[in-house]
């Protein structure tokens, strides 16, 4: 098995070429001098060309590594499952389902730092067990920032634990991480049995349970209290003047001031309240009550308005009075109240024909099929209704409308669309259907009614069919880097297996360990994979080492499962480096971290997980 070490064997040319491609790919992935997608494409192209002219033949004379085999990664069920989960995660994020659940956890821990952060990270851990980690972390970053602010802590103390909690949660179920799905898919390609939904849940929960104690109690103490430049910038965010119409049954009805102001109108400054055509200015008497028909003019940042829009966006649509019918479309529809709604900013140009007119005089809704939610005018304080403000050059309008109507603003000579400000509004009216679809997918997959690949693809299709997402939003949710890297890693895994490279590496590891017992071999293998997972992509590590795990198990005449599970857990142990896993990269900027912060705080967690696995796995799988 190790004959190729003492002398060059021409029959092993494919194996050595594969090793060379693996080495070059790993270096390029680490340096990132070339984009990850281009590196992955280069790997696939090199393998295609080489094995076309130097085929690996089976007993019938067919090329084992033909294009069909090397490109099969693009149609691999594991990859398609990852894509479907990304789309479903986007649907959950867009409808505010995860954020609502997270806020519920926070309410019970408010005022006590350890309890509040503990509940938050446990929530992240639980949710990450049932969906891809990346959208979970994206959703929780602003929530954790808000929690840090309420607790008087720097976000640098909480951002890295957020990433670690999501990674630990991803170890519990098959869909907790795309890495888990890839290992399972690779096992099937190698002729082994793939994982069921909860197959490694027990050891995974033990590792996650012990690891989360370190995340909650140790990580915040080891991390620096680092001030953020971004926080000072965000604190001085641009204020829009907006109009809030109190309607019967709304959450604003019945609100009363305390100390002259409205604390329930979070992150908003009330400029004036209009009641029965009479204007009331702050400070307000504590007996003052907001009633149906009142109009409130507030100043707030875009993020604060976006948060307030959830559930009741129509209350931020300025009333047009007796002219309402004039601004409806011919069929009576109101486009700003249906379909996928976008928020964007647009500036009134110096030569605009809108200058000197207010929104009612312009007929803005009729002309553009969009609603002006707020107006920002340099640093001036305006105490008037949005519809009564005569526009001036340089005014910035916060506009809500359907995506086609927002796109139609591009090129208009009267207002300049600020391209990078367009963002989808939370579609909270789809929250129930989205949650039902997601729970249904998890249920049928966990019960084994259909394979996970079928369940997730159907779930993603239902989110498109029910209008939770449109095709463009679903497409944007798919990370092309993940797609290309997974396809390249699967191609390399196939090449390692077909050329004998996986068996060769397994034999070297066994020779180094000598006559060590199976638990020692399993522990050493776990540590090797975990260390490499912090240097290269976790996905590439998982796919490359799965064939090696099978080779080691076969070489020791042991079951494949414990070694395959070792790859799952070890590849997920990317705690000591920001480049190993995408969630670590996501929290670097919000936490203002340096590379060494991950080494100092993540390395102990990696060692803890390794030691726990080294004791738990032999007991659980009966190795001796």
In tens, the pLDDT along 102-143 reads 566 556 655 566 777 888 888 889 888 887 777 777 667 767
Task: Indicate if the pLDDT at residue 46 is higher than 70.
Answer: yes
**Max CA separation in the chain (angstroms):** 95
Q: Which residues pair with 242 in a beta bridge?
A: 298, 374
Contact indicator for 358, 397 with CB cutoff of 8 Å? no
The top-scoring range by mean pLDDT among 171-180, 329-338, 374-383, 394-403 is 171-180
Q: Residue 450 corresponds to which tokens in the numbers above?
A: 């259909």
Domains of the chain: 78-228+438-480 (no CATH), 322-425 (3.30.70.1450)
Position 620 confidence tier, pLDDT thresholds 50, 70, 90: very high
- Does the model's pTM come out above 0.75? no
User: H-helix or E-strand containing 278?
Assistant: strand 278-280
Burial class (CB in 10 A: 0-12, 13-18, 19+), 351: exposed
Backbone angles phi, psi at 401, to 5 degrees: -175, 175
Non-local (6+) Cβ contacts of 100 within 8 A are 431
Using H for helix, E for strand and C for coil, what is the string for 110-126? Answer: CCCHHHHHHHHHHHHHH
Position 205 confidence tier, pLDDT thresholds 50, 70, 90: very high
User: Among all chains, which residue has been given the structure tokens 């990078």?
Assistant: 420
| Percentage of the residues of the chain whose pLDDT score is greater than 90 | 18
Task: Indicate if the pLDDT at residue 613 is higher than 90.
Answer: yes
Position 236 scores a pLDDT of 42
Q: Residue 364 corresponds to which tokens in the numbers above?
A: 């803005």
Q: Which of 353-362, 366-375, 459-468, 609-618 has the least mean pLDDT?
A: 366-375
Task: Indicate if the pLDDT at residue 418 is higher than 70.
Answer: yes
Position 171 scores a pLDDT of 93
- As a whole number of angstroms, the distance between CA 291 and CA 293 comes to 6
Beta strands (DSSP E) in 111-260 are 239-245
Alpha helices in 263-311 (DSSP H): 302-309
Position 97 scores a pLDDT of 66
Contact indicator for 484, 79 with CB cutoff of 8 Å? no
Q: Which of 96-100, 173-177, 410-414 has the least mean pLDDT?
A: 96-100
Position 322 scores a pLDDT of 47
Contact indicator for 250, 315 with CB cutoff of 8 Å? yes
Contact indicator for 168, 208 with CB cutoff of 8 Å? yes
Contact indicator for 40, 488 with CB cutoff of 8 Å? yes
Q: Residue 108 corresponds to which tokens in the numbers above?
A: 């019970």
Contact indicator for 318, 359 with CB cutoff of 8 Å? yes
Position 311 scores a pLDDT of 58
Question: Which has the closest alpha carbon to 374: 305, 446, 307?
Answer: 305
What would the mean pLDDT of 70-82 be, rounded to a whole number? 81
- As a whole number of angstroms, the distance between CA 468 and CA 465 comes to 8
Position 4 confidence tier, pLDDT thresholds 50, 70, 90: very low
Contact indicator for 340, 422 with CB cutoff of 8 Å? no
For 184, 267, 276, 299, 381, the CA distances from 282, given in Å and listed in that order, are 62, 16, 17, 13, 13
**pLDDT tens digit string along 498-545?**
888 877 877 787 788 777 899 999 999 999 889 878 866 687 778 778
Burial class (CB in 10 A: 0-12, 13-18, 19+), 522: buried
Q: Which long-range contacts (CB under 8 A, 24 or more apart) does 430-436 make?
A: 430/91, 430/94, 430/95, 430/466, 430/467, 430/468, 431/95, 431/96, 431/97, 431/100, 433/466, 433/468, 434/91, 434/92, 434/95, 434/97, 434/463, 434/468, 435/92, 435/95, 435/97
């Amino acid at each position: 098995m190790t004959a190729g070490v003492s002398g060059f064997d021409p029959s092993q040319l494919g194996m050595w070429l594969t090793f060379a491609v693996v080495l070059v790919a790993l270096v390029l992935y680490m340096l990132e001098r070339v984009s990850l997608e281009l590196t992955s494409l280069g790997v696939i192209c090199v393998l295609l060309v080489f094995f076309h002219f130097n085929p690996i033949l089976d007993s019938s004379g067919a090329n084992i590594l033909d294009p069909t085999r090397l490109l099969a990664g693009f149609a691999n069920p594991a990859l398609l499952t990852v894509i479907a989960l990304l789309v479903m995660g986007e649907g959950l994020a867009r409808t505010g389902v995860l954020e609502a659940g997270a806020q519920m956890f926070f309410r019970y821990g408010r005022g006590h730092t350890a309890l509040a952060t503990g509940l938050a990270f446990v929530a992240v851990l639980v949710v990450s067990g049932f969906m891809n980690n990346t959208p979970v972390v994206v959703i929780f970053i602003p929530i954790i920032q808000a929690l840090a602010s309420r607790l008087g802590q720097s976000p640098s103390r909480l951002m890295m634990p957020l990433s670690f909690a999501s990674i630990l949660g991803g170890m519990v179920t098959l869909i907790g991480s795309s890495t888990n799905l890839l290992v399972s898919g690779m096992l099937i390609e190698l002729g082994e049995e793939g994982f069921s939904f909860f197959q490694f849940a027990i050891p995974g929960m033990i590792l996650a349970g012990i690891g989360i104690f370190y995340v909650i109690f140790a990580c915040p103490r080891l991390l620096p209290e680092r001030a953020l430049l971004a926080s000072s910038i965000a604190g001085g965010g641009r204020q829009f003047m907006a109009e809030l119409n109190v309607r019967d049954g709304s959450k604003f009805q019945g609100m009363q001031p305390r100390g002259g102001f409205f604390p329930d109108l979070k992150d908003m400054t009330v400029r004036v309240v209009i009641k029965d055509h009479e204007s009331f200015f702050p400070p307000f008497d504590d007996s003052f009550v907001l009633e149906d028909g009142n109009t409130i003019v507030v100043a707030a940042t875009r993020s604060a308005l976006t948060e307030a829009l959830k559930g009741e966006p129509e209350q931020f649509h300025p009333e047009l009075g007796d002219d309402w019918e004039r601004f409806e479309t011919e069929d009576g529809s109101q486009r700003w109240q249906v379909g996928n709604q976008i928020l964007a900013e647009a500036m009134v140009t110096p030569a605009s024909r809108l200058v000197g007119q207010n929104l009612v005089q312009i007929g803005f809704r009729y002309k553009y099929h969009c609603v002006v939610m707020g107006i920002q005018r340099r640093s001036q304080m305006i105490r008037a209704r949005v519809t009564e403000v005569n526009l001036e050059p340089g005014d910035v309008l916060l506009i809500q409308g359907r995506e086609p109507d927002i796109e139609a603003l591009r090129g208009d000579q009267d207002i300049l669309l600020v391209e990078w400000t367009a963002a989808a509004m939370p579609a909270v009216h789809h929250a129930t259907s989205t949650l039902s679809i997601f729970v249904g997918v998890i249920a049928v997959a966990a019960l084994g009614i259909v394979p996970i690949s079928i369940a997730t693809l159907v779930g993603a299709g239902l989110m498109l069919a029910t209008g939770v997402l449109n095709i463009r939003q679903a497409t944007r949710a798919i990370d092309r880097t993940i797609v290309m890297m997974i396809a390249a890693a699967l191609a390399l895994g196939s090449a390692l297996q077909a050329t004998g490279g996986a068996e060769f590496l397994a034999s070297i590891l066994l020779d180094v360990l000598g006559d060590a017992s199976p638990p020692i071999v399993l522990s050493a293998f776990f540590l090797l994979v975990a260390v490499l997972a912090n240097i290269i992509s976790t996905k590439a590590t998982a796919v490359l080492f799965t064939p090696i795990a099978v080779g080691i198990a076969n070489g020791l005449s042991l079951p494949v499962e414990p070694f395959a599970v070792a790859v799952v857990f070890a590849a997920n142990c990317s705690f000591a480096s920001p480049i190993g896993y995408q969630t670590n990269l996501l929290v670097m900027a919000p936490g203002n971290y340096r590379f060494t912060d991950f080494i100092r705080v993540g390395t102990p967690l990696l060692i803890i997980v390794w030691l726990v696995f080294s004791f738990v796995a032999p007991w659980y799988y009966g190795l001796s």
